[in-house]
Structure 1
Amino acid sequence: MTHSLWPTCGYSLLTPNEAGHLVVTDDFLRFLLERPELTPIASSCAAEVALHHSLVEQPRREVTAQELAELQDKDAADNYAVWLRFRQRITTLPTLEASYIALFKGEGVDVPPLLVQHITHILLCHVLGEAPTAMQARAAEMLMHTQKITVLEDGAVMAADDETVERHATQSGFGSIGELLKQGGIKLRSVDLDVLNEDNQDAYWPRSESFDWVVSLNRGQPALNALCEVMANWVQHFLGVQVRIQTEREINDDHWVWHVGLDAQASGVLNDLYQGKEVDAERMERLLCLFKLEFVEPNDMLAEVRGKPVYLAMAVDANQQLKLKPQNLLLNLPLAKRS
C-alpha cells in the first residue's frame, strides 16, 4: 500500500531525470520563496513586495546588490541574500543529488543548516521510494533531525525527535506559572510520546510530519534494522554501488582498514581506537551502535582494501543528542577510482 509521506516538504515539485535523480524546477524555487523568512508581511516595504512578486514570476532571474540594498528591512535583505546563494547552490549542477554532495566539498557549507536539512529531507523522501515501511520512514528521520536519546532503567535506549521533545517540555500549558509550580515541587502534566513498533505502524502515516514517534535503538530492534536498510539505499542511490549494512557488537578485527563515523562524536572515537589511543569509559559509553558495511561487488572498492568491511558507528554527545551526518556515507567510503 502506498502512503503519503511528508506531503508538505515539496518533494512532488521536483522532476526525476532518466537516471532517477531529481531536477530542480521553477515551481520548487517558488515553493522555497513561500518560506516565512521570505514571504512579505503587512509591514514589508514596497521594494520587498515587488522583489518577492518578481521572483515568484521568474524564480531564476538575477537579483542585483542594489535591489537588496533598497529593502528597508535589513533582516529581509539578509534572508534574500541567503536564498539567492542557496538557489545558486541547487541550480548550478544538473541534479539535486549532485548539488547536495557539492555542498560538503570545498571550503565548507555556506548555507544555513535549516536549508541543508530541508534538502536532506527531500532526498530521503526520494530514496525511500513509493512504498517504504513506517519503520523505514521513522529511521530516515534520524538522518535529517537531531534525536534526543534516553536510556531507561531497564536498559532500553529510546530515540525521540529533539525538537519535538523540546516543544513538549516548553509547552506545558502553564507558561511562567508552570516554572513556579515546578520550583514549588508540584508535578505538572507530562506529555507521553508513542513508541513505534511492529504492531502500530499504520498509525505513523497520518502523523508523518509531526515527528513525534519514539523508537528503540537496542540491537535487534526493528528501528535499527530499518536504519541499516535506509543507509544502504542512500549509498546505492547516490553512488551507484550496492552495499549491505548490519549491526555489530564490537570491532574484533585484526585487519581493520576503514571506518566512517556517522556523527562527529563517533568519528572521534573510531579514529582514536583505530590509532591505538586510549578512549575513556565516558566516551565509549556514548557509542550507541556499531555497524558493518560490506560492498556487494568488491571491485567497487579501492584495490588496497578490497573485500574488507567498513565499520560505522553512531554516538551521542554530552547533551544526549544524536546528530547523524548522512553525507559522511557519501564522501568517506573507499570507492574505486572511476574514469
Structure 2
Amino acid sequence: MQNFWPSSGFDQLRRNARGWLVPTDDYLRLFLARPELALVPESCDAERALHAALVLQPSRAVTPREQGALADADARANYALFLRFRDALLSAGTLEGYYLSLFRRGHVDIPPLFVDLLAQAIVRNVLDDSTDVYELRAGEMLFRAQRISTQGGQILAADRDVVDLLSETGGLGEIGRLLTQANAPMRALEMAVLAEHNAPRYWQDGERHRFLLDLTHEVRNDLSHGLTLTMTRARSGLGALARVLERWIAHFLGVAVHIRPEPRIDDPAWRWHVGLDTEATALLNDLYEGNAVEAERQQRLLSLFRLDFADPQEMRADVAGKPVYLGLATSADQGVKLKPQNLLVNLPLGAARPQ
C-alpha cells in the first residue's frame, strides 16, 4: 500500500495498544509550521525567540510573560490558541481521546480548523489498511467541506475550497486571479470524477483534493411496457461513505454496525435518528416530529442511511434491535459539512458501552 494524505501528520504520530494516536513533538511541529504560526518578515524578536524555542521543544512550558512580549496582537492570539490546544491534547494523551472530550463536554474551545486537522489524522488512522480509493475520497468528507452539483443525472461532491479557488483563479494561482479580475479568457482546469480509469492516480494526487466523488447510489433504467429497473451502483460514493462511517464508529466506540444508503424512511416505529450535518439534523427532527417541511428543503436531502447494530444488546434497552436512521443534506448554497462527531455522541449506546 502507498501512503496517502502525508500532510495529515499520521507519519509523525504513534499508536498505543488500543490503536489510538499518541501526539509527539514532531506532530506539534507541524502546527508551528502552519501559516497561522509560521514566522513572517514582520515578526518581532520576541516572537522569533518563542517560535525557535517551541520548534526545539514543542511541549515546553510558555510563561504569560513570553506570550505578552509578542508585539503583534494576532500573533499573541494565535499562540494562545495553539498552547491551549497543545496542553489539552497532551493531557488527553491521544488524538481520539481529546476529540471525544471536545464534543462530550459540549464546549468546543478550539478553532474549527484544529478540529478538522484532528479528524484528518484520525480518519487517516482509521483507513490506514484500506486499498479502496473510493473509501479514501469519501473519508475526505469527514474533515473537508464539499460542494454538490448535478451533472447528467450524477450527484457529484467536489472539495469546496478547491472549487472556490479554481473559480477565482482558473487553476493559475495569483496570475489567474488577476486575469479573472480583468475578465481575460483563461484555460479551464477541470476536476475529474473518480473512476476506474483514474483511480490509481489518487495515491499520488489525492491530497490535491481535485477528484469528484459520485454520490449517485442508484441508476434507473426505463424499460419497455412502462417498466423501470433500478440498480445499485457498485462504485457508489454513498456506499463508500457508509463503510468509512462504520470504521469510524468501530474505531472510537468499539461497536460493530452496518450502514447502508436508503431511499426513504418507511418505518411507522421510527425511534432514533442522527443527522450527519447541521441541515440534516434539523430536517430529520422536523420530519420525526411531523412538522411541515418545504419542498425545497426536502430536495436538499442527499441521502438517508440505515444503521443497524451487529449486537442489539449494545444498544439502549428501549431501542434495542431497532434501526438508527442517518441523514445527509446540503445547505442552501449546495454545501455539505459533515459532523462525524454526531455519530460518537448521539448513538443510542447501552450503559455498558463507552459513553
TM over 0.5: yes
C-alpha distance in structure 2 between counterparts of 1:212 and 1:175, whole Å: 19
The answer to whether the aligner puts 1:237 opposite 2:251 as a matched pair is yes
Given candidates 251, 257, 266, the residue that maps to 2:265 is: 251
Question: Does the 8 Å CA contact 1:11/1:125 hold for their aligned counterparts?
Answer: yes
Distance 1:200 1:44 in 2: 44
Q: How many residues align?
A: 333
Q: What amino acid does structure 2 have at the position aligned with 1:132?
A: T
Q: CA deviation at 1:179?
A: 4.0
The correspondence of residues 132-171 of structure 1 with structure 2, limited to 5 A, is: 132-152=131-151, 154-171=152-169
Q: 2:315 aligns with which of 290, 293, 301?
A: 301
Quote the offset at 1:241 in angstroms.
Answer: 0.2
Quick check: 1:321 aligned with 2:320?
Answer: no
Q: Note closer, same or farther for the CA distance 1:107–1:308 as it changes in structure 2 (3 Å cut).
A: closer
- Mapped partners of 1:254, 1:111: distance in 2: 41
Conserved? CA contact 2:169–2:180, under 8 Å: no
Distance 2:187 2:289 in 1: 49
Distance in 2 separating the partners of 1:105 and 1:305: 21
Farther-moved stretch of structure 1 (289-298 vs 4-13):
4-13
Aligned to 1:178: 180
In structure 2, the partner of 1:19 is 18
Asked whether the equivalents of residues 3 and 131 of structure 1 are also in contact (C-alpha less than 8 Å), the reply is no
> What's the CA shift for 1:88?
1.9
- Counterpart position of 2:228: none
Larger mean CA deviation between 307-316 and 11-20 belongs to 11-20
Residues of 1 paired with 2:313 and 2:283: CA distance? 29
Distance in 2, Cα, partners of 1:53 & 1:324: 36
Residue ranges of structure 1 left out of the alignment (5+ in a row): none
SS at match of 2:77: helix
Runs (4+) off by over 4 Å: none
CA separation in 2, counterparts of 1:15 and 1:175? 41
Match of 1:291 among 305, 311, 314: 305
CA contact (8 A) 1:290 1:311 kept: yes
Which is further off, 28-37 or 119-128?
28-37
The structural deviation recorded for 1:73 is 1.6
Normalization by structure 1: what TM-score? Answer: 0.94
Question: Contact between 2:314 and 2:352, CA under 8 Å: does it hold in 1?
Answer: no
1:58 alignment partner in structure 2: 57
Output the CA distance in 2 between the equivalents of 1:174 and 1:100: 38
Provide the alpha-carbon RMSD of the alignment: 1.6
**Equivalent residue for 1:336?**
350
- Residue 100 of structure 1: aligned partner: 99
Residue 226 of structure 1: CA displacement?
0.9
Match of 2:227 in 1: none
Q: Letter of the 1:336 partner, please give it.
A: G
Confirm or deny that 1:226 pairs with 2:228. no
Tell me the equivalent position of 1:79.
78
Which has the higher mean CA deviation after the structures are superposed, 112-121 or 238-247?
112-121
Aligned partners of 2:274 and 2:342 also within 8 Å? yes
Residue aligned with 1:228, SS: helix
**Residue 36 of structure 1, CA deviation:** 2.1
2:255 partner letter: V
Alpha carbons of structure 1 residues 86 and 309: separation in structure 2 relative to 1, 3 Å: same
Residues 107-146 of structure 1 deviation map (CA, whole Å, 9 limit, x = unaligned)? 4211111111111100000000233311110000111111
Partners of 1:89 and 1:103 within 8 A in 2:
no
Q: Report percent identity of matched pairs.
A: 43
Cα deviation per residue 1:90-116 (whole Å; 9 max; x = unaligned)?
111122101001112334211111111
Q: Secondary structure at the match of 2:189?
A: coil
In the TM superposition, residue 177 of structure 1 has moved relative to its aligned partner by: 4.7
Q: Is 2:128 aligned against 1:129?
A: yes
**Alpha-carbon separation, structure 1, partners of 2:43 and 2:180:** 36
Once the two structures are TM-superposed, the CA of residue 168 in structure 1 deviates from its matched residue by 0.6
- Partner Cα separation in structure 2 for residue 249 and residue 42 of structure 1: 55
Partner of 1:215: 213
Q: Which runs of 5+ in 2 are unaligned?
A: 218-231
**Amino acid paired to 1:315:** A
